[in-house]
Amino acid sequence: MVSYLSLVDVTDVRAGIREAQRVLRPGGTLLIANLQSFNTAADPIGWSHEPDGSRRFSIDRYLEERPTWVEWRGIRIQNWHRPLGVYMSALLDAGLELRHFAEPAPEGVEGDKADRYRRAPNFLVMEWQKRG
């Protein structure tokens, strides 16, 4: 089962994770790619230009679980900011076992956006397995 950038869209993420665990077969795998929680805590500020020309990544209210509205290419949706601990606790409470965790940096690409994601990764990847 794959969850690609969708957990931030789920209002009741704990129920969603329990349901994912329920439908997995024993030994089945849940692969998750999700936005980094510090990125969702950065809205609306995120990257800023400082007076000295440097750039800073600003986050606020990281531990506060809350909805945020985002717009991308004319589509407006509600995302949820949650600390990483909310996801990890929900997955562990559902009886899943963490098999892999990564915060991948961009590879083979250059430019401002790739440089930003090397400084503060945009997403994380986790592999969870249902006990057999």
At residue 123, the 3 state secondary structure works out as strand
For position 116, what pLDDT does the model report?
Answer: 80
For position 131, what pLDDT does the model report?
Answer: 93
| AA identity, residue 127 | E
For position 40, what pLDDT does the model report?
Answer: 85
Among 82, 95, 111, smallest CA distance to 26 is for 95
For position 117, what pLDDT does the model report?
Answer: 82
For position 15, what pLDDT does the model report?
Answer: 98
Separation CA 104–CA 26 (nearest Å) = 28
For position 58, what pLDDT does the model report?
Answer: 83
For position 44, what pLDDT does the model report?
Answer: 65
Q: Domain range for residue 16?
A: 2-130
DSSP secondary structure letter of residue 28: -
Backbone angles phi, psi at 9, to 5 degrees: -95, -10
Separation CA 117–CA 74 (nearest Å) = 23
Separation CA 124–CA 104 (nearest Å) = 7
The CATH number of residue 36's host domain is: 3.40.50.150
Task: Divide the 132 residues of the chain into consecutive groups of 10 and give the mean pLDDT of each group.
Answer: 94 97 98 92 78 86 91 91 97 98 90 82 94 89
Number of domains in the chain: 1
